[in-house]
């Protein structure tokens, strides 16, 4: 895929960690879906000695995702004691899904709860969040969305009613807030339109890497740079505050800084 995190970036992070004494076997590359990891060639063969974990299985054929008892094969990968709750918002008749069965295949559960992966609640001690530089409509799909929609299941129901708010509230949960120590945007390539899904027409070389201990400051800088690129490319940009208010919400919760005047941005 043209817009996944590049292997070379992950190689560099792994090299930095191991050079500072962390054994490879204590490093895990993870994402929401095992299928997407495989498509992006994040495999044991490419990254020997490092764990490769998808929080859930998504069966493209739609025939192998239930166990003998009729449950999703990935149910046990999620922690029922750790959840994001959205009252009255269920994975039923969700726009964009042909039926509820198709939704359940992709999302494991379909009720009012989105459970955190056990990987986060029981195993990981630190998280380095690496995202790509891309848009999602007039907003961005960078580090807070990467973890906000990647750490929990049953997210398709959340896009229309809550969308960016989910990014902030998932980041406020202790399994993310207390463990995510570094955020990186791989901007070697970017995508300035038709995101978050890949569209090669809008992929371009950006030759940039962004690093921050504050994911909200990082996404604010990324958002501003994305707006500049979209304008330069002739894309009509809606700059309504709703596209960044979730970042200011994060600042109100004490999760980071979203006020551009207070962000220390250093370009090397």
pLDDT greater than 90 at residue 64: no
pLDDT, average across residues 112-125:
99
Measure Cα distances from 235 to 38, 161, 191 in Å.
33, 25, 12
Q: At residue 51, what are phi and psi to the nearest 5 degrees?
A: -70, 140
What is the distance between the alpha carbons of residues 76 and 92, in angstroms, rounded to a whole number?
Answer: 22
How much is the pLDDT for 3? 87
* Whole-structure pTM value: 0.96
- Hey, is 69 helix, strand or coil? coil
DSSP H or E segment with residue 139: strand 139-140
Torsions phi, psi for 118 (to 5 deg)? -60, -25
Residues 6+ apart with CB under 8 A from 148: 166, 167, 168, 169, 170, 171
CA distances from 61 to 35, 43, 55, 65 (A): 12, 21, 19, 9
What pLDDT is attached to residue 139? Answer: 97
Residues 120-136 have a mean pLDDT of 99
Q: What is the mean pLDDT of residues 16-28?
A: 99
List the structure tokens of 149.
């929609």
Torsion angle defined by CA atoms of residues 194, 169, 148 and 53, in that order, rounded to the nearest 10 degrees: -170
If you average pLDDT over every residue of the chain, what do you get?
A: 97
Q: What's the mean pLDDT in 96-125?
A: 97
The 10s digit of each residue's pLDDT in 208-222 is 999 999 999 999 999
pLDDT number for residue 1 = 58
What does the longest C-alpha to C-alpha distance in the chain come to? 56
Neighbours of 110 (CB within 10 A): 19
DSSP state of 233: T
Q: Which residues pair with 85 in a beta bridge?
A: 113
The residues, ordered by sequence, that sit 6+ positions from 187 with a Cβ below 8 Å of its Cβ are 132, 133, 206, 207, 208, 209, 210, 222
pLDDT tens per residue, range 175-199: 999 999 999 999 999 999 999 999 9
Delimit the domains of the chain by residue range.
7-262
| Cα–Cα distance, 197 to 5 (Å, whole number) | 14
pLDDT bracket for residue 62 (50, 70, 90)? confident
Predicted confidence band of residue 58 (pLDDT cuts 50, 70, 90): confident
For residues 54-70, average pLDDT: 88
């Amino acid at each position: 895929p043209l817009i996944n995190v590049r292997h070379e970036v992950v190689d560099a992070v792994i090299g930095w960690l191991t050079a500072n004494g962390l054994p490879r076997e204590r490093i895990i590359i993870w994402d929401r879906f095992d299928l997407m990891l495989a498509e992006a060639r994040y495999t044991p063969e490419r990254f020997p000695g490092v764990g490769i974990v998808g929080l859930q299985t998504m069966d493209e054929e739609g025939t192998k995702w239930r166990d003998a008892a009729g449950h999703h094969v990935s149910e046990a990968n999620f922690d029922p004691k750790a959840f994001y709750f959205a009252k009255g918002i269920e994975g039923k008749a969700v726009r964009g899904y042909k039926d509820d069965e198709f939704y359940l295949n992709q999302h494991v559960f379909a009720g009012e709860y989105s459970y955190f992966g056990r990987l986060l609640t029981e195993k990981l001690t630190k998280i380095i969040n690496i995202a790509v530089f891309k848009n999602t409509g007039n907003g961005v799909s960078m580090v807070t969305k990467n973890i906000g929609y990647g750490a929990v299941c049953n997210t398709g129901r959340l896009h229309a009613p809550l969308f960016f708010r989910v990014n902030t509230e998932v980041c406020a949960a202790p399994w993310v807030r207390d463990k995510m120590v570094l955020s990186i945007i791989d901007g070697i390539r970017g995508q300035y339109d038709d995101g978050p899904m890949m569209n090669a027409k809008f992929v371009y070389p950006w030759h940039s890497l962004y690093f921050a201990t504050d994911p909200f400051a990082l996404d604010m800088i990324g958002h501003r740079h994305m707006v500049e690129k979209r304008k330069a490319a002739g894309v009509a940009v809606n700059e309504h505050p709703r596209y960044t208010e979730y970042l200011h919400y994060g600042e109100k919760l004490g999760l980071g800084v979203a006020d551009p005047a207070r962000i220390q941005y250093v370009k090397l």
